Amino acid sequence: MQHEEIQNRRELLLQSEKLSVSSARNAFEKELQPIVSDLNFLSQTLSGKTFAQMEYYFSLLAGDKKYYDQIRFLSTNGNEIVRVNYRNSQVTVVPPSELQSKKDRYYFQNTLKLGRGEVYISPLDLNVEYGEIERPLRPMVRFGQVVFDENGNKRGIIVLNFLALDMLKHFRKHANDVAGELRMVNAKGYWLSHELWEKEWGFMFDREDRIQQEYPEEWETILNEEAGQFETENGLFTYTTVHPIAVSESINHTPYFWKIFAHVPTDFVAGIKYDQVIGMVIVVGPIYVLLIIVCALLALSRVNRLAVLKDLHESETNSRAIIDLSRDGIVNVDQEGNIATWNPAAEKIFGYFKNEACGQPIKDILVGSSVLPEIETWHALLAKKSQTGLLDAPVEHALLTRTGKTLPVEMTFAALGTSQRPFLTIFIRDLSNQKNAEARDRLAKVVFDETHEGICICDEQRKIMMINKSFTTITGYRLRKVKGKDPIFMAVPRYDSTFFKDMWQATHERGHWSGELWNVDGQGNEYPTRCDVSVMRNKEGKIQHYIWVFNDISEQKKEQESLHIKTHFDALTGLPNRILFLDRLGRAVAESKRTDEVFALLFIDLNFFTVLKGIHGHAVSDQMLIEVAQRLKDVVRESDSVARLGNDQYTILWRNLSGENDLGYIKNKVKTALEVPWKYDGMELNINGSIGHAIYPQDGDTAEELMRKAEQSMFLDKPQKVN
The predicted structure's pLDDT at residue 417: 65
Query: For residue 171, which amino acid is it?
Result: F
Instruction: Report whether pLDDT(419) > 70.
Output: no
pLDDT tens for residues 123-143? 888 888 777 888 778 898 889
The pLDDT tens digits for 142-198 are 899 999 887 888 999 999 998 888 888 878 777 776 777 889 999 999 999 888 878
- Written as one string, the DSSP assignment of 367-392 is B-TTHHHHHHHHHHHHHHT---EE-S
Q: Over range 316-328, report the average pLDDT.
A: 72
Q: With a cut of 70, say whether residue 290 has pLDDT above it.
A: no
Q: Is 92 among the domain residues?
A: yes
Asked whether residue 250 carries a pLDDT value surpassing 60, the answer given is no
Where is pLDDT greater, at 282 or 224? 224
C-alpha span between 228 and 221 (Å, rounded)? 9
Spatial contact of 169 and 241, defined as CB atoms under 8 Å apart:
no
Best mean pLDDT range from 5-9, 244-248, 521-525: 521-525
The predicted model gives 106-112 an average pLDDT of: 89
Classified as helix, coil or strand, 700 is coil
Choice among 305-314, 410-419, 451-460 with the minimum mean pLDDT: 305-314
Is 0.85 surpassed by the pTM of this model? no
Give pLDDT, residue 602: 95
Please report which confidence band the pLDDT of residue 363 belongs to, taking 50, 70 and 90 as the band edges: confident
Specify whether 616 is located in the same domain as 513.
Answer: no
Residues 622 and 534 in one domain: no
Q: Is residue 394 very low, low, confident or very high in pLDDT (cuts 50, 70, 90)? A: confident
User: Which amino acid is it at 451?
Assistant: T
427-479: per-residue pLDDT in tens?
889 988 888 777 777 776 777 777 888 999 999 999 999 999 999 999 999 99
620 with 513, same domain: the answer is no
Q: Could you tell me the end-to-end alpha-carbon distance of the chain, in angstroms, rounded to an integer?
A: 98
**In what order do the strands lie in the sheet containing 543-552?**
464-467, 454-458, 543-552, 526-537, 512-520
pLDDT on residue 604: 95
Assess whether pLDDT exceeds 70 at residue 586: yes
Q: Domain holding 232: CATH number? A: 3.30.450.20
Beta-carbon contacts of residue 322 (< 8 Å; ≥ 6 apart): 285, 288, 289
Task: Say whether both 528 and 630 belong to one domain.
Answer: no
DSSP 463: -
Q: How many CB atoms lie within 10 A of CB 203?
A: 19
Whether the pLDDT of residue 669 is over 70: the answer is yes
- pLDDT category of residue 711 using cuts at 50, 70 and 90: very high
Average pLDDT over residues 671-682: 90
Query: Looking at the structure, do residues 139 and 34 belong to the same domain, yes or no?
Result: yes
Residue finishing a domain among 210, 238, 268: 268
CA distance 549 to 470: 10
Domain that holds residue 515: 451-558
Whether residue 632 is contained in a domain is answered as yes
When mean pLDDT is compared across 93-107, 260-274, 651-665, 682-696, the lowest value belongs to: 260-274
Residue 602 in contact with residue 692, Cβ under 8 Å? yes
Q: Examine residue 208 and state whether it is found in any structural domain, yes or no.
A: yes
Burial of 306-333, coded b for 16+ CB within 10 Å and e otherwise, reads: eebeebbeebeeebeebbeebbbbbbbb
Q: Residue 295 above 80 pLDDT?
A: no
Query: Per residue in 20-61, pLDDT tens?
Result: 888 888 888 778 778 888 888 888 777 777 888 888 888 888
pLDDT for the residue 318: 62
- Same domain flag for 138 and 33: yes
CB atoms within 10 A of CB 345: 23
Do 251 and 115 fall within a single domain? no
371 plus 431 within the same structural domain: yes
Q: Is the pLDDT of residue 694 over 90?
A: yes
Residue 148 domain flag: yes
How large is the average pLDDT for residues 509-515?
Answer: 88
Calculate Rg over the CA atoms of the chain: 39
Task: Based on the fold, state whether residues 55 and 98 are members of the same structural domain.
Answer: yes
Nearest to 636 by CA among 606, 609, 604: 604
Query: Would you say residue 614 lies in a domain?
Result: yes
Q: Are 475 and 519 in contact (CB under 8 A)?
A: yes
386 pLDDT more than 70 = no
Instruction: Please indicate whether residue 541 or residue 268 has the higher confidence score (pLDDT).
Output: 541
Q: What is the pLDDT of residue 54?
A: 84
pLDDT for the residue 389: 62
Nearest Cα neighbor of 551 from 581, 520, 523, 516 is: 516
Residue 722 is assigned to a structural domain of this protein: no
Question: How far is Cα 275 from Cα 456, in angstroms, rounded to an integer?
Answer: 30
Instruction: Please count the structural domains in the chain.
Output: 5
CB-based burial label for 57 (10 Å; 0-12, 13-18, 19+) = buried
**What 8-state DSSP symbol labels residue 640?**
S
Mean pLDDT, the chain, integer: 83
Question: For residue 402, what pLDDT is reported?
Answer: 82
Q: What is the mean pLDDT of residues 209-229?
A: 91
Is 443 contained in some domain? no
The pLDDT of residue 381 is: 61
As a residue count, the chain comes to 723
**Tell me, what amino acid is at 44?**
Q
Q: What mean pLDDT comes out for the span 699-722?
A: 88
| Nearest of 460, 459, 485, 482 to residue 471 by alpha carbon | 482
- For the stretch 396-406, pLDDT in tens is 888 888 887 88
From 374-388, 670-684, 700-714, the region with the lowest mean pLDDT = 374-388
Examine the fold and report which residue of 268, 294, 324 is the final residue of a domain before the chain moves on. 268
pLDDT value at residue 274: 46
Q: What is the DSSP string of 41-81?
A: HHHHHTTT--HHHHHHHHHHHHHHH--EEEEEEEETTSBEE
Q: Based on the fold, state whether residues 428 and 462 are members of the same structural domain.
A: no
Cα(430)–Cα(405) distance, integer angstroms: 13
If you average pLDDT over residues 565-569, what whole number do you get?
87
Query: Which helix or strand (DSSP H or E) is residue 581 part of?
Result: helix 578-595
> How would you write 497-541 as a 3-class SS string?
HHHHHHHHHHHHHHCEEEEEEEEECCCCCEEEEEEEEEEEECCCC
Look at residue 157 and tell me if it is in a domain.
Answer: yes
**Statement to judge: residues 409 and 277 lie in one domain:** yes
| Last residue within a domain, chosen from 150, 167, 184 | 167
- Residue 549, pLDDT > 80, answer yes
* b (16+ CB within 10 A) / e for 688-704: ebbbbbbbbbebbeebe
- With CA atoms as reference, report the closest residue to 512 among 536, 541, 484, 487: 536
Asked if 417 and 513 sit in the same domain, the reply is no
Say if residue 508's pLDDT is above 80. yes
Q: What is the pLDDT of residue 392?
A: 66
